[in-house]
Amino acid sequence: MPPLPLSAEMDFSQNSLFGYIEDLQELTIIERPVRRSLKTPEEIERLTVDEELNDIERAVYLLSSGQDVQGTSVVANLPFLMRQNPAETLRRVLPKVREVLHVAGVEMQLTAAASFLTILQEESVSIQTYSHSFLHIILQHVEHRDAGVSNAWLETLLSIIEALPKETLRHEILNPLVSKAQLSQTLQSRLVSCKLLGKLANKFEAHIIKREILPLVKSLCQDVEYEVRSCMCRQLDIIAQGIGTELTKSIVLPELIELARDESSSVRLAAFETLVNLLEMFDADDRSQTILPLVKSFCEKSFKADETILLSLSLHLGKLCHGLYGILTPDQHLRFLEFYKKLCTLGLQQENGHNDNQVPPPNQEQEKRYASVRKNCAYNFPAMIVFVDPKNFHMELYSTFFCLCHDPEVPVRHTIAICFYEVSKLLSSGVYLIYKELIALLQDESLEVLDALVDHLPETLELLTTGGESSVQESKLLAVPDLIPALTAAEQRAAGSLKWRTHEKILQKYACLPHIISSDQIYYRFLHRMFTIMITNNVLPVQKAASRTLCIFLRYNRKQEQRHEIIQKLIEQLGQGKSYWYRLRFLDTCEFIIELFSKSFFCKYFFLPALELTHDPVANVRMKLCYLLPKVKSTLKIPADKHLLQQLELCVRKLLCQEKDKDVLAIVKREQLEKEKQQNEGRQNSDKVFEKKQRRDSKTSAVLPKTIPMSVAGSSSCTPSTSKEVKKSKLVRSQSFSSQALHPKYGNLEKCTGKNSTTVYATSVSGTGKSVLSYTDDSFRTRNSSGNASLYSNTSLPSTSRNINNSVDQKNNGSKDTQSRKATLKSRKSNP
């Protein structure tokens, strides 16, 4: 609202003052009802409830002596009570609810209908308990005098029918319908009966429907009230699906034909829509001899009837033409097509002032209805392409398509923009014919139209640039320069509006352009624009969308000088930018680079610039980098990138030691804990693998004799050794063990290695398949090697001995093993 001029602001004349006084009086009148709505102390006391009461007792109290608003609150809370204590709720609360509903107002009735449906959906009780406790209450109120309340209870009942068993449906719902559907009942009762019959038709067998439901259906189709006839007519397609084709042709179709000639337009409209829905159930003879004449008569009289008929006809015309396709003569086919074209231009005056529809100029209300008709025609346009065959599109429907794309009403253009991709698919090689319409919709002044078109823009552009024959391909490639200005104008128009979601969507969809136009065209017309949006736009989702699309453009750019220019620009203007906002966007770009590019590319260009932000003066930048560090580390390839890993670890250590911001420090510590956790999990996994191997070895040791004394050379010293020395000692042991052969007839293997020897007894426990080792020296250590297979199949050592870490000299082990072999040979010679 523009500011008032100075003279108006300083006008203190008598007339002006009286005007101000009147305005103040109006304000006081507005405030009076608010003051009257305040509760008095007596009312507040009546609304107060003892806090010591539990939920069930409080609900019973409020339903018994509380006010309506409190009772409504209890009814709304009924699903919660059923979840907490279903038994007590059914025993104490529900009877009170039943009593209150008899005199309850509209608000409580609507709340109760919704609560009962929620209890059913949550399955708080079994369906048997639900039908026993709640079904009777619903049936009592489904014919409420208020139409809104009745519809609410009816919707709840229709939902319950899906879950109730057949016997309950038959006794509680179907049998009472015989009397409820009689002409002597109220109008509301008969309307409810119509909807219940339609719902019950799919719950019983065909013979039950024929015997008990169809007589009621025929009676209601001939009701004296047109509302009942129309309501029953709209249930016939559901009933037809339950009784099958034969009964539909013999019973339902005659009723539909009679209703299609009804004196009421709403009944005729219901009959027409039902016939369209049932077209697939009828054979060609029924469609050509019975249904087609009715449809033709309906279409011819539609312009003379009210606009409601035209609205329905335009909405169902595509489905109707599809159902009649194949039985129409060429003349009939042409008539339906001309009728559709006539509807597409309904209400539009021709340039020469002549109105082809031969109707008087419409008023404002009629213009809205005519626009709705044209909108429905746009919705049915893909179906009409199938009706005329895509090969005939240019001659038969192109002019109509042009009119719909340039319609003066936004809803019409919005609908045709939604259908544009479907039209493109149907036209296939002829998609180039609608290229100009695509440009026109991209340049549409309405952002709603642009938003609808952009949803499938990548697929549409791909069809436009790849479909068609060679000659057509050349014409499309020549037309591509017209596309680029339209795309840039569409993006700039969205950027200048307040609809940032449309702008974000456009930027996301433009990521398809590397498949549509050349790299140079993207570089000069779009890539720098993405960079500008990242710097100047104030909406974060838009900035991120521009950043990701820029990364995709960079990914498909094969010119090194252009690539280096953009990379340098990202690092200097964003990564080293003066504004912390730029540096945050640089980290977003790094995340997209990691996602879209190779690891080596990121490490080459962006790894070190990203790490430099650990020294950023703004805590938010350092925090965002800390969140990104795991992804940054995942790009490293060890050992090639070992120097980068050292840089990363150095930055983390500096953050742990020097970081002053508690939030940043907490993130770094959390990342460090996760790293240690992963390392521990890796160790545990390796330990599990080793234990599995040892269990397999222990199973193979069961084939040895029961007692095998072994003397294993070892050192009594307990000094720790490095991992390399341990590996060398294991290798030497493996070589010394593999040079021996264990003869199966010997039950014992004794190795004498001097005073530091340790005797190990591997005893096989009968019945368990396990071996028990005992040793007499703390210097014992398991030797794990891959030596002679026959040896290891008989002399495996337990895994527990691996936990004893002793250093073993390689040369001493070799000499001791040699002495051991000599001693063993001597013992064999002395004991043949």
Give CA torsion, residues 805, 807, 813, 817, to 10 deg: -20
Pick from 38-52, 123-137, 516-530: least confident: 38-52
Contact between 91 and 131 (Cβ < 8 Å)? no
Residue with tokens 């036209």: 427
Q: Which pLDDT band holds residue 830 (cuts at 50, 70, 90)?
A: very low
Q: Which pLDDT band holds residue 550 (cuts at 50, 70, 90)?
A: very high
Residue 495 CA, distance from chain mean position: 27
What pLDDT score was predicted for residue 366?
Answer: 84
Cα distance between residue 404 and residue 393, in whole Å: 15
Q: Which pLDDT band holds residue 102 (cuts at 50, 70, 90)?
A: confident
Other beta carbons less than 10 A from residue 601's beta carbon: 18
H-run or E-run covering 193: helix 187-200
Other beta carbons less than 10 A from residue 720's beta carbon: 9
Output 744 or 105, whichever has higher pLDDT: 105
Share of the chain above pLDDT 90, in %: 47
What pLDDT score was predicted for residue 828?
Answer: 45
What pLDDT score was predicted for residue 67?
Answer: 78
**22, two tokens:** 């009147």
Q: Is the pLDDT of residue 512 over 50?
A: yes
Instruction: Write the CA distances from 26 to 8, 31, 35, 47, 485, integer angstroms.
Output: 21, 9, 15, 33, 56
The DSSP secondary structure of 289-337, one letter per residue, reads: IIIHHHHHHHHHHHTTS-HHHHHHHHHHHHHHHHHHTTT--HHHHHHHH
Cβ-defined contacts of 213-222 (< 8 Å, 24+): 213/174, 213/239, 214/239, 214/243, 214/247, 214/251, 216/177, 216/178, 216/181, 217/255, 218/251, 218/255, 219/181, 219/183, 220/181, 220/190, 220/193, 220/194, 221/255, 221/258, 221/259
Output 20 or 320, whichever has higher pLDDT: 320
For 128-153, write each residue's pLDDT tens digit. 999 999 999 999 899 888 889 999 99
Output 734 or 588, whichever has higher pLDDT: 588
Q: Is the pLDDT of residue 773 over 80?
A: no
What pLDDT score was predicted for residue 43?
Answer: 63
| Averaged pLDDT, 382-403 | 95
What pLDDT score was predicted for residue 502?
Answer: 96
What pLDDT score was predicted for residue 510?
Answer: 96
Q: Is the pLDDT of residue 443 over 70?
A: yes
Contact between 377 and 392 (Cβ < 8 Å)? no
Of 439, 321, 330, the closest CA to residue 385 belongs to 321
Which pTM value belongs to this model?
Answer: 0.70
What pLDDT score was predicted for residue 429?
Answer: 87
Pick from 54-58, 587-591, 671-675, 737-741: least confident: 737-741
What pLDDT score was predicted for residue 66?
Answer: 67
The DSSP secondary structure of 468-522, one letter per residue, reads: S-HHHHHHHHHHHHHHHHHHHHHHHHHHTSS-HHHHHHHHHHGGGGGGTS-HHHH
Q: Is the pLDDT of residue 591 over 90?
A: yes
| Averaged pLDDT, 206-224 | 90
What pLDDT score was predicted for residue 764?
Answer: 41
Q: Is the pLDDT of residue 83 over 80?
A: yes
Q: What is residue 572's three-state secondary structure? A: helix
H-run or E-run covering 774: strand 770-775
For 426-439, write each residue's pLDDT tens digit. 998 899 899 999 99
What pLDDT score was predicted for residue 41?
Answer: 72
Q: Which pLDDT band holds residue 632 (cuts at 50, 70, 90)?
A: very high
Mean of the per-residue pLDDT values of the chain: 79
Output 352 or 74, whichever has higher pLDDT: 74
| Averaged pLDDT, 724-741 | 44
**607, two tokens:** 């790894």
Pick from 91-105, 600-614, 761-775: least confident: 761-775
| Averaged pLDDT, 697-711 | 54
| Averaged pLDDT, 714-718 | 41
Pick from 272-281, 473-482, 786-795: least confident: 786-795
Q: Which pLDDT band holds residue 45 (cuts at 50, 70, 90)?
A: low
Q: Is the pLDDT of residue 420 over 70?
A: yes
Highest-confidence segment of 197-211, 358-372, 773-787: 197-211
For 325-355, write each residue's pLDDT tens digit. 888 999 999 999 999 999 999 988 644 445 5
What pLDDT score was predicted for residue 794?
Answer: 39
For 664-675, write each residue's pLDDT tens digit. 999 888 877 776
Among left, alpha and beta (phi > 0; psi -120 to 50; other), residue 501 is: alpha
- With a CB cutoff of 8 Å and minimum separation 6, the contacts of 122 are 79, 82, 83
Cα distance between residue 177 and residue 192, in whole Å: 9
Q: Is the pLDDT of residue 287 over 50?
A: yes
Q: Is the pLDDT of residue 28 over 60?
A: no
What pLDDT score was predicted for residue 297?
Answer: 85
| Averaged pLDDT, 714-721 | 42
What pLDDT score was predicted for residue 349?
Answer: 63
Q: Is the pLDDT of residue 600 over 60?
A: yes
Among left, alpha and beta (phi > 0; psi -120 to 50; other), residue 358 is: left
Output 336 or 19, whichever has higher pLDDT: 336
The total number of residues written for the chain in this structure: 832
- With a CB cutoff of 8 Å and minimum separation 6, the contacts of 678 are none
| Averaged pLDDT, 249-258 | 91
Count of CA atoms in the C-beta half-sphere (13 A) of 181: 28
Output 213 or 46, whichever has higher pLDDT: 213
Share of the chain above pLDDT 70, in %: 73
Of 354, 426, 429, 440, the closest CA to residue 397 belongs to 426
Other beta carbons less than 10 A from residue 266's beta carbon: 17
Q: Is the pLDDT of residue 158 over 70?
A: yes
- With a CB cutoff of 8 Å and minimum separation 6, the contacts of 524 are none
The residues facing 713 across adjacent strands are 757
Q: Is the pLDDT of residue 740 over 80?
A: no
Of 218, 141, 123, 213, the closest CA to residue 170 belongs to 213
